[in-house]
Chains A and B, each alone.
Chain A
């Protein structure tokens, strides 16, 4: 069974440029998460989707970040314009939802963004 797929793996851009990350979750997982991981820190949740609905986006900087999950499968996270402080690893995860006692999350390899 394929795991969570993310692309690109690495991205280097200049500040003020736009950038987009793509995620394909594990087949059948209806919950999808985007995390940001700064160097030396644990991941922090940016947004969580239940199917195509964003149910928790309280940590998403909405002035420059946007996300979508069309048809409740693939998801795209966009930053426009990027700032130096956006340099980080962006991780996508997925899980089966609906059962509060079991929400094991599976992570993709991440996209390492460097903003120059």
Chain B
């Protein structure tokens, strides 16, 4: 059974800082891993999907890495902005199509 843990649960940093969000998963037999963003009262927006054959995936100021052997993924946000404030969720598959989510990291960027 897949279990996903995200640390920290909440993070508050000043604008402009680089930061790292952590995700760990127990079943490393995964095909991919997905990072989402969720704004208050809204649905989930897919940020990055990393295939198991990749080690990194980049989109703008976001970079996600995947280390299957250690069961870890990180989301790196460069030059953070107040608009980056949201909850970030990591999700790893269990079996073919079921996604198991972590509890999320609530990120606040202070101007």
Chain A residues near B (Cβ < 8 Å) = 4, 6, 31, 33, 40-45, 48, 55-56, 91, 93, 95, 97, 100-110, 112
Given the contacts A42-B4, A42-B103, A109 and B42 also touching, CB distance less than 8 Å: yes
Tell me, in angstroms, the Cα distance from A40 to B34 when the chains sit together: 19
Is chain B's binding surface mostly helix, strand, loop or mixed? strand
User: A95 contacts which of B43, B44, B45, B97 (Cβ < 8 Å)?
Assistant: B97
Q: A48-B97, A101-B32 are in contact. Are A41 and B46 (CB under 8 A)?
A: no
Contact with A along B82-111 (1 / 0, CB 8 A): 000000010101001111011110000000
Our pick among B36, B91, B99, B103 for the contact of A41 (Cβ within 8 Å) is: B103
B41 at the interface (CB under 8 A from A): yes
Taking a contact as CB atoms under 8 Å apart, the answer to whether B31 and A103 are in contact is yes
Q: How many residues of B contact A (CB 8 A)?
A: 25
Q: Does B63 contact A (CB under 8 A)?
A: no
Selected from B41, B46, B96, B99, the residue in CB contact (under 8 A) with A112 is B41
Q: Do A103 and B93 form a contact, CB below 8 Å, given A40-B103, A42-B101, A45-B98?
A: yes
